[in-house]
């Protein structure tokens, strides 16, 4: 029969020599190998104390952005929902009223904005689609939850803290590589 690949190797069926049958030399050799591992560097990261940095292109949990005056950027245009291949995003728009200029950047805003984290595939297409730089994927991932409902993140979960009233939380939520 012709072999499918040329990588096959014939199994050696030759009986063991006397030294091989003694087992002890090869056992000692093996023990030397394991002993040398005592002096090797451990690749372990001691997790809660030590954390491995995410890569700069890591796409984690979504953040709804604000501008530097603390106004929500989202205009509920729906481009992110259209771009979303997993159909995880739903939203409802509303018109900005008089006196709300300090809350919303433009005349229209998202009254409801939900992302189903069980559907989301964290592809980042919403971030690419957004013309207002209102949504981006942060450096953390969605934590575990007990219910399916708990994975539907609303505006209160997604919106970034106000840069004016809570600058520290804002910087933290923005993440390391977006701050510079």
Partner 1 sequence: MTLLAFDWILMVEKLILIAIIVFASLGIALYTTFAERKVAAILQDRPGPNRAGPFGLLQPFADGLKLIMKEEIIPNSASKALFILGPGLAMTAALMTCSVIPWSSHVELFDRKIDLQIADINIGILYIFGVVSLGVYGIMIGGWASNNKFSLMAALRGASQAISYELAMGLSLIAVLMISGSLSLKTIVEEQMAAGSMWNIAYQPLGFVIFFICALAECNRTPFDLPEAENELNFGYHQEYSSMKLGFYLFSEYINMIMSSAVMACLFFGGYDIPFLNESSLAPNTAAILGLLALLTKIVVFIFVFMWIRWTVPRFRYDQLMNVGWKKLIPLALFNMLLTGALILWKQG
From CA 126, how far away is CA 114, in angstroms rounded? 13
The percent helix, strand, coil of the chain (3-state, each to 5) is 25, 15, 55
Q: Which stretch binds partner 1 (CB under 8 A): 1-9, 39-47, 80-88, 158-166?
A: 39-47
42 binds partner 1 per the rule CB under 8 A? yes
Please name which of 108, 105, 89, 99 lies closest in space to residue 158, comparing C-alpha atoms.
Answer: 89
In the complex, the smallest distance separating the C-beta of residue 32 from partner 1, rounded to whole angstroms, is 9
Q: Is 47 in the site for partner 1 (CB under 8 A)?
A: no
Q: Note whether 40 binds partner 1 by CB under 8 A.
A: yes
Strands of the chain (E only): list them. Answer: 62-64, 89-95, 108-116, 135-137, 152-153
Is residue 114 within 8 Å of 91, Cβ to Cβ?
yes
Binding mask 7-36 for partner 1 (x = CB under 8 A): ----------------xx--x--xx-xxx-
- With binding defined as CB under 8 A, does residue 51 bind partner 1? no
Residues in Cβ contact with 117 at an 8 Å cutoff, skipping those fewer than 6 apart? 61, 88, 142, 151, 152, 153
Q: Whole-number minimum distance, CB 118 to partner 1, in Å?
A: 32
Which residue, 25 or 154, has its beta carbon nearer to partner 1?
25
Report, in Å, the least distance between residue 52 CB and partner 1: 15
Instruction: Name the site residues for partner 1 (rule: CB under 8 A).
Output: 23-24, 27, 30-31, 33-35, 37-38, 40-44, 46
């Amino acid at each position: 029969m012709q072999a499918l690949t040329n990588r096959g190797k014939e199994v050696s069926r030759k009986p063991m020599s006397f030294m091989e049958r003694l087992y002890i030399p090869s056992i000692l050799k093996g023990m030397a190998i394991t002993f040398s591992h005592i002096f090797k560097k451990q690749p372990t990261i001691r997790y809660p104390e030590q954390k491995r940095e995410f890569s700069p292109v890591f796409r984690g949990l979504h953040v709804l952005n604000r501008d530097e005056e603390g106004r929500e950027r989202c205009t509920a245009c729906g481009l992110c929902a259209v771009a979303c291949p997993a159909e995880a995003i739903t939203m409802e728009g509303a018109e900005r009223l008089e006196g709300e200029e300090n809350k919303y950047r433009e005349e229209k805003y998202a009254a409801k904005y939900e992302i189903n984290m069980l559907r989301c595939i964290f592809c980042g297409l919403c971030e690419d689609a957004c013309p207002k730089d209102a949504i981006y994927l942060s450096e953390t991932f969605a934590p575990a939850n007990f219910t399916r409902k708990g994975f539907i993140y609303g505006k209160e979960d997604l919106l970034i803290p106000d840069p004016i009233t809570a600058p520290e939380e804002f910087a933290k939520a923005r993440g390391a590589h977006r701050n510079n």
